[in-house]
């Protein structure tokens, strides 16, 4: 059975929609095909391709429905195992996040301390340079910022 639904009044929904309803065994199976754009595409062809892309058989439908509602011991075991895995994954992710947060905080504190200690080492403007340089010609000691030797007038090498 196939029904065709038109929803032209709701702009959030596609204009055209198909719903197929199967009766498999004692259960109804609903399969919907939504046309997100019915302009310029062959809707019928795509719809047929979609509906033919999978098959529904009775045993699959039954087992699927059973696992949804059943409370047998086997299903409970599988469910508990899944729950355990989910919890494990959750705690691993949570632990990772906590570790990342702790590391981040540690790095930020470390950086703050480093900045503070650097500020303590440099109290103010740099003291003026008072280094001396010996003249390569006459050995007279000159201030390193003077261009020529005060003893012989020899041009002094520029010290960086």
Residues found near Zn ion in the complex (CB under 5 A):
135, 137-138, 140, 149, 151-152, 154
Dist. CA 65–CA 93, nearest whole Å: 32
Sign of CA dihedral 35, 37, 43, 49: negative
CB closer to Zn ion, 51 vs 148:
148
CB closer to Zn ion, 16 vs 156:
156
Q: How far is CA 151 from each of CA 17, 34, 135, 154, rounded to the nearest angstrom?
A: 102, 98, 9, 8
CB closer to Zn ion, 16 vs 149:
149
Do 48 and 18 contact (CB within 8 A), yes or no? no
Residue for token pair 């003026």: 128
Smallest separation (angstroms) from Zn ion to the CB of 144: 14
CB closer to Zn ion, 62 vs 140:
140
CB closer to Zn ion, 85 vs 138:
138
| Neighbour tally for 156: CB within 10 Å | 20
Smallest separation (angstroms) from Zn ion to the CB of 147: 12
Smallest separation (angstroms) from Zn ion to the CB of 133: 10
Smallest separation (angstroms) from Zn ion to the CB of 115: 46
Smallest separation (angstroms) from Zn ion to the CB of 153: 7
- Bridge partner residues of 132 (DSSP): 143
């Amino acid at each position: 059975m196939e029904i065709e639904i038109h929803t032209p009044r709701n702009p959030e929904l596609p204009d055209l929609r198909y719903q197929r309803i199967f009766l498999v065994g004692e259960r109804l199976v609903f399969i919907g095909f939504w046309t997100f754009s019915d302009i310029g595409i062959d809707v019928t062809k795509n719809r047929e391709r979609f509906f033919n892309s999978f098959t529904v058989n009775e045993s699959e439908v039954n087992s699927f429905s059973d696992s949804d509602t059943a409370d047998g011991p086997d299903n409970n075991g599988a469910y508990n195992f899944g729950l355990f895995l989910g919890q494990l994954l959750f705690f691993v992710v949570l632990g990772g996040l906590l570790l990342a947060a702790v590391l981040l905080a540690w790095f930020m504190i470390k950086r703050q301390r480093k900045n503070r200690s650097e500020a303590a080492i440099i109290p103010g403007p740099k003291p003026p340079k008072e280094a001396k340089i010996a003249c390569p010609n006459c050995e007279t000691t000159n201030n390193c910022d003077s261009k020529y030797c005060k003893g012989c007038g020899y041009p002094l090498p520029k010290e960086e």
